[in-house]
């Protein structure tokens, strides 16, 4: 047993409670091993120690983190545009982004470090008929009529499109990873708040065009839309997260809050 922790020992090493620990096991983040002659699972010390070190390093970054996540305004668009242009080969014109923002003021979010935009996200509901054409690469999202992009209001099921989730280029790989983790953490909170407001999200869609984007969608348990994939777009993959059936940290809080909202309305 010298190479393994018991569940209690592993929880103490990671500094998590029993519910969080069991959740990490269920999600495959922690490997559970049943040794011959043992009734209960044990956990490899090497993996637990490595995970504990990574969690401690991430926590240390957050303690000294001066970055600010916030809802973007029209004044932020030129800086957002410039960051995308430095990172991606194709950029949606500012005029189109401004139209999206006017249609849905909650569509854009930025992460600033020392006042500079280092990451941003753009997420909004889209009429599914148009969204399907975007995911099949029949039209670009910038060609979708603005009226087919919806505000975040309760009363009807919405299909959300993650237009962008971009971290700016930096030579500091550790900081880049931290910015990406921070964005995901903040977006989890954004989705949770939408649930408490009674915003009914039917599904979340994304179009990943980079190895990092594809890896992120898979880690968040998005499903590949194989029927939409285009052979000529090598590496570019459409994804869907079905809110009713998906189990992922991205929307766990959203689902709980949305159920509470519905209970309050009964």
Average pLDDT over residues 249-265: 92
Question: What stretches of the chain show up as alpha helix (H) in DSSP?
Answer: 7-14, 18-26, 45-63, 77-87, 94-103, 128-135, 173-196, 211-219, 249-265
Span 68-114, pLDDT tens digits:
999 999 999 999 999 888 877 778 899 999 999 999 999 999 999 98
Average pLDDT over residues 46-64: 73
- Residue 84: which of 115, 118, 108 has the closest Cα? 118
pLDDT at 56 over 80: no
For the chain, give the percent of residues with pLDDT over 90: 55
Q: Among 45-59, 86-100, 248-262, which is the least confidently predicted range?
A: 45-59
Name the band, by pLDDT with cuts 50, 70 and 90, for residue 226.
Answer: confident
Query: Could you give the CA distance from residue 46 to residue 53 in angstroms, rounded to a whole number?
Result: 11
Residue whose tokens read 């999206």: 100
Query: Could you give the CA distance from residue 7 to residue 31 in angstroms, rounded to a whole number?
Result: 11
Span 11-30, pLDDT tens digits:
999 988 888 888 888 878 89
Q: Which two tokens stand for residue 125?
A: 């509901």
Name the band, by pLDDT with cuts 50, 70 and 90, for residue 59.
Answer: low
Name the band, by pLDDT with cuts 50, 70 and 90, for residue 168.
Answer: confident
Sign of CA dihedral 257, 258, 264, 266: negative
- Higher pLDDT, residue 228 or 251: 251
Span 170-194, pLDDT tens digits:
888 888 888 998 899 899 999 999 9
Average pLDDT of the chain is 89
Query: Could you give the CA distance from residue 161 to residue 239 in angstroms, rounded to a whole number?
Result: 10
Average pLDDT over residues 140-149: 95
| Helix and strand numbers, DSSP H then E, in the chain | 9, 9
pLDDT, residue 227, reads: 83
| pTM (whole model) above 0.85 | no
Instruction: Choose from 26-35, 58-67, 198-207 the range with maximum mean pLDDT.
Output: 198-207
The span from the first CA to the last CA of the chain, in angstroms, equals 53
Which structural domains are found in the chain, ordered by start? 4-63 (1.10.1660.10), 68-265 (3.40.630.30)
DSSP lists the bridge partners of residue 13 as none
pLDDT, residue 120, reads: 94
C-alpha dihedral, 114 to 169 to 109 to 226, nearest 10°: -160
pLDDT, residue 1, reads: 67
């Amino acid at each position: 047993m010298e190479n393994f922790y018991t569940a209690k020992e592993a929880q103490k090493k990671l500094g998590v409670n029993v519910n969080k620990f069991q959740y990490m096991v269920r999600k495959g983040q922690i490997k559970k091993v049943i040794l011959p002659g043992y009734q209960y699972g044990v956990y490899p010390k090497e993996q637990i120690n490595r995970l504990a070190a990574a969690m401690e390093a991430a926590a240390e970054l957050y303690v000294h983190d001066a970055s600010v996540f916030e809802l973007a305004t029209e004044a932020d668009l030129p800086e957002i545009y410039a960051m995308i242009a430095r990172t991606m080969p194709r950029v949606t014109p500012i005029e189109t982004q401004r139209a999206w923002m006017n249609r849905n003021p909650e569509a854009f979010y930025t992460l600033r470090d020392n006042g500079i935009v280092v990451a941003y996200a753009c997420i909004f509901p889209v009429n599914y008929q148009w969204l399907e054409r975007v995911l099949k690469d029949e039209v670009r999202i910038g060609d979708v009529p603005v009226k087919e992009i919806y505000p975040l209001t309760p009363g009807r099921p919405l299909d959300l499109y993650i237009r962008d989730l971009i971290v700016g280029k930096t030579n500091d790989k550790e900081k880049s990873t931290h910015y990406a983790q921070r964005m995901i953490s903040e977006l989890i909170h954004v989705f949770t708040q939408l649930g408490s407001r009674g915003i009914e999200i039917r599904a979340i869609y994304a179009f990943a065009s980079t190895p990092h984007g594809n890896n992120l969608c898979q880690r968040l348990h998005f499903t590949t839309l194989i029927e939409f994939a285009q052979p000529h777009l090598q590496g570019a993959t459409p994804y869907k997260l079905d809110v009713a059936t998906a189990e992922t940290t991205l929307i766990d809080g959203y689902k709980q809050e949305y159920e509470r909202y519905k209970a309050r309305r009964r």
